[in-house]
Structure 1
Amino acid sequence: MSEGNRIWQTVIGLALGLAILALAGGYLGWLHPLGDSLSVGRALAATAILVLAVFASFAGLRMAAFVATLLALLTGAQVLLAYSWPGLPGRYSVYQKNLLYRNADLAAVESDIRATNPQIVTLQEVSEPNLALPARLKDAYPHQHVCPGGRVGGTAILTRLVPVPGTAFCAPGLAAMQVVAGVEGQDRIWLVSVHLHWPWPYGQGDHVDRLLPILDRLKGPAIMAGDFNMVRWGHSVSRMAEVLDVRAAGPTFGTYVGWSDFFRLPIDHVFATRGGRVGPRPALGSDHLGLLALVEI
């Protein structure tokens, strides 16, 4: 083998190893919050491994190329399934929206909510100016629970369903209340609106640690929706879903469009006890798309 070929193999092998390391690291959120940050790029890492595997095969690294291809296909299939597999629609309609604290098009958001007519609305970044939206919707959603937040605003739940008295409360980045539902009011459902911190190197891991004991106290069927600032397969989101015993409504969508309309991050989600089906709504003055879900408890 010539010196040029050996250098070529070394470069490809090193690049392939780094891509595999990044992919594997995305499964280690249980060990360190950095793992969750890496899990956001799982699809990109799997794609990079597939491309590098082709080069590795031509460079004579056939066994490495074969193993890398299998790894990329197995992990990439998980992400592809999340993006493509729809859930079964349920009885309860949920409109999820991060408003953006400086939204200048609240009228369009109001119109979209009225047009889709959901039973439940979950909001984030409910800043002082954005409080005008719940006020405008008071006629359609008489039961409102708004929790204050920091610089970008808080979380809120708007609903036509009748609240169970004394159940509404606030926590950091979270609003929750229990409501009466069902044909004869036989169901009690916890509604939760969530806005998590950004992931590592920011404080998402610690934020989730504070919320888990709170969510663990909410017994019975639940619907949880919000801006999680994390993909649904991330460890932090999985922990919250597990403790509340809820499943993601599918499929997942790229909802954050603040960087580019062509590079969307799937970080807004709707969960329910028995899952459901979800679809996107327009951005309407926000850097997040809305979601409209039909979920089941």
Structure 2
Amino acid sequence: MKQSAHWISRILRGTGWVGAIACSIVLMAGFGGAFHPALDSLALLRIPAAAGCLVLALLLARPRALVWSGAGASASVLIVLGAARMMAGPDGQGITIYQKNLWAGNVANRALIADIRESGADLVMFQEVSDRNFPLLALLEDDYPHQQFCRFSAWSGMAVLSRFPAVEEGICSDRRGMAGLRVEGPNGPVWALSIHLHWPWPHGQARQVARLLPQLDALEGPVIIGGDFNMVPWGHSVRRVAAATGTQRVGQRLPTIYPYGVPLPIDMVFTPTPGRTERRPLFGSDHYGLVARVAAP
């Protein structure tokens, strides 16, 4: 019996070490998005990988130096991500942004229209503006007379709606990715962008961002972005967009979609100035909306 228990203990310990090594590889590889898009996709697993490494490190117990180093590193990652989740930022005064992926199969939802109006949004960013929900733009035209709509297919369109007057013609990206309108904000002209990125590797997110960057770099003045990035905030693709536009994610990190029950914070608002965000209902979409209130850049 003692020999059997000894072998079972060794097998469990060996399995634990294999799991710990696998977690560590996934966790470290997820920081390598700058080297290959496949590694950026692993950033999606950063929280479960860090949690798994922490649990396994504490269970293994020996050798102490290695175990506690691994536990400390895993706990640090979780603390940093947890702090970013909780940080709401200061109250923003000046501009209110409504961000929403409508879902292409959705219709022009009256409850959504009422929510947008009640939010007092100055700028509205839509993704998946399809043939089915396109009438929404006309229904909001009295409130938002300045609009830029970019159609890329029957289901894929992006729109920017503004109370502020437009100061020049709007822009569309060469392929699916962005709609933009330059408007006269409270403190001067501001670019308002609606962005929708592809799914990450093995899909075309990295290539799409590489095509967008020259257009983003060429924009003059402050930029405000509302978008469905199909990537977590710490992903390399998201950080490239933020760096190119001189913006930061607004408010706390909020899950906006739950594929297979997994909470993913992939819808975000980026501005040069801090502010707060709140989550809005689905209104027939598979994405929750966001309302961000920020200081006017």
Taking the aligned partners of 1:257 and 1:6, their CA distance within structure 2 comes to 39
CA contact (8 A) 1:156 1:193 kept: yes
Shift of 1:3: 4.0
Shift of 1:220: 1.2
Gaps of 5+ in 1: none
Taking the aligned partners of 1:259 and 1:116, their CA distance within structure 2 comes to 30
Residues 204-241 of structure 1, C-alpha deviations (whole Å, 9 max, x = no match): 00000000011000121110110000011100000010
CA contact (8 A) 1:101 1:152 kept: yes
The corresponding residue for 2:246 is: 245
CA contact (8 A) 1:84 1:252 kept: yes
Taking the aligned partners of 2:259 and 2:232, their CA distance within structure 1 comes to 16
Amino acid at match of 2:90: L
Taking the aligned partners of 1:35 and 1:203, their CA distance within structure 2 comes to 14
Gaps of 5+ in 2: none
Residues 220-266 of structure 1, C-alpha deviations (whole Å, 9 max, x = no match): 11101100000111000000100100011010100013433xx2210
TM-score scaled to structure 1, two decimals? 0.93
The counterpart of 2:83, out of the listed 68, 81, 86, is 81
The corresponding residue for 1:39 is: 43
The corresponding residue for 2:226 is: 225
The corresponding residue for 1:205 is: 206
Shift of 1:8: 2.6
CA contact (8 A) 2:130 2:156 kept: yes
Please identify runs of 4+ aligned residues in structure 1 that moved more than 4 A. none
Taking the aligned partners of 1:35 and 1:276, their CA distance within structure 2 comes to 31
CA contact (8 A) 2:108 2:136 kept: no
CA contact (8 A) 1:257 1:289 kept: no
Shift of 1:105: 6.1
CA contact (8 A) 1:221 1:273 kept: yes
The corresponding residue for 1:280 is: 279
More strand by share: 1
Aligned pairs (5 A) from 1:251-290? 251-260=252-261, 263-290=262-289
The counterpart of 2:111, out of the listed 108, 112, 116, is 108
CA contact (8 A) 1:56 1:64 kept: no
CA contact (8 A) 1:229 1:267 kept: yes
CA contact (8 A) 1:224 1:270 kept: yes
CA contact (8 A) 1:49 1:69 kept: yes
Shift of 1:104: 3.9
- Residues 1:180 and 2:187 are matched in the alignment: no
Taking the aligned partners of 1:30 and 1:174, their CA distance within structure 2 comes to 22
CA contact (8 A) 2:108 2:135 kept: no
Q: Which moved more, 1:90-99 or 1:37-46?
A: 37-46
Shift of 1:75: 1.1
CA contact (8 A) 1:196 1:229 kept: yes
Secondary structure of the residue aligned to 1:163 is coil
Residues 17-63 of structure 1, C-alpha deviations (whole Å, 9 max, x = no match): 00011111110000111122111121111111111112111xx3433
Residues 110-166 of structure 1, C-alpha deviations (whole Å, 9 max, x = no match): 111111120000000000111111110111111111100235321000110011123
Secondary structure of the residue aligned to 1:15 is helix
CA contact (8 A) 1:246 1:275 kept: no
The counterpart of 1:97, out of the listed 95, 100, 106, is 100
Alpha-carbon spacing, 1:181–1:42, altered in 2? closer, same or farther (3 Å): same
CA contact (8 A) 2:97 2:122 kept: yes
Aligned pairs (5 A) from 1:118-137? 118-137=121-140
Determine what percentage of the aligned residue pairs are the same residue. Answer: 38
Q: State the Cα RMSD in Å.
A: 1.5
Alpha-carbon spacing, 1:272–1:221, altered in 2? closer, same or farther (3 Å): same
TM-score scaled to structure 2, two decimals? 0.93
CA contact (8 A) 1:146 1:175 kept: yes
Shift of 1:202: 0.4
